[in-house]
Amino acid sequence: MRYSRLVVLVILFFSCSKAFGQRPALNMPDHDDKLYYFGITFGTNFSVYRINYSNSFAETDTFKRIQPLWKPGFNLGLMGNLRLSSFVDFRFVPTLLFAEKRIKFEYGPPSDSLADRSIESIYMHLPFQFKFKSDRMKNFRFYGLAGGKFDYDLASNARSKRTDEFIKITPIDFGMEFGVGFEFFNPNFIFSPEIKVSQGFANQLYRDSGLQLTNAIDRLSTRMIVISLHLEG
């Protein structure tokens, strides 16, 4: 019995050693030879306004405080990828991006009341990115990205005639983006989680002298964090 157990243990040891010693299969081995490929993308975003205050805000007591706050949204789009070299790609990722920015503001005396309002946006988000890739490590790769963007807000209220608007936003924005991501090669597709930071350069404040909040703000720009999941072929 003692020798039988020893033989079984030896057989199990060599079987496990062989199993662990096998290298994983290389998925999609010819993928890096493609000149271009496509994919889909979806995910979530968090956006906020960066506010520059006007002289009126400091010189009058209409508002005690104007505070921008982060709000979540979601995004869905397509991807086109063009290989420029072994380590650099060019990407175009047209995306429909649903975002929301929140502004909390407090009136001065005599009311001293507090208001909390949100601004909803539906962006046609058009980013152009350079993707800088590492060497492929089996079925994994790391990459960084940098580029620019053009956004058009389909829900902009700049031309709205409603009397209950508290602020008006222009539809056009442009800016820069940078981020990081990971590629996991599967037998039939690549799964790529990614995070990027987007900063708008345009002043999105539409001036309407009839709105008190507009008079207290000199400039509004959009800042966004976008977390995406890409499925690429």
Classify 32 as helix, strand or coil. helix
* 153 half-sphere exposure, CB direction, 13 A CA radius: 23
Q: Are 89 and 99 in contact (CB under 8 A)?
A: no
Half-sphere exposure of 94 (CA within 13 A, CB side): 4
pTM, two decimals, is 0.85
Percent of the chain with pLDDT over 70: 90
Q: What is the dihedral of CA 136, 179, 100, 205, to 10 degrees?
A: -150
What ranges do the domains of the chain cover? Answer: 26-232
What SS3 state is found at 91?
A: strand
What pLDDT is stored for residue 23 in this prediction? 62
pLDDT per position as a tens digit, 22-68:
566 899 999 999 999 999 999 999 999 999 999 888 888 889 899 99
pLDDT score recorded for residue 3: 41
Summarize pLDDT for 175-208 with one digit per residue, the tens.
999 999 999 999 999 999 999 999 999 999 999 8
Average pLDDT value for residue range 157-173: 90
Helices (H), the chain: 2-21, 55-59, 212-216
The whole-number pLDDT of residue 6 equals: 43
Judge whether residue 226 has pLDDT over 50: yes
Q: Tell me the two tokens of residue 205.
A: 């404040």
Q: Beta partners for 189? A: none
Rg from Cα positions in the chain: 26
Phi and psi at residue 13, to the nearest 5°: -65, -45
Across the chain, what does the average pLDDT equal? 89
- Asked if residue 103 lies in contact with residue 66, where contact means CB atoms within 8 angstroms, the answer is yes
Residue 212's pLDDT is 86
CATH architecture of 26-232: Beta Barrel (2.40)
**pLDDT tens digits for 72-115?**
999 999 999 999 999 999 999 999 999 999 999 998 887 788 98
Residue entry with tokens 């157990």: 5
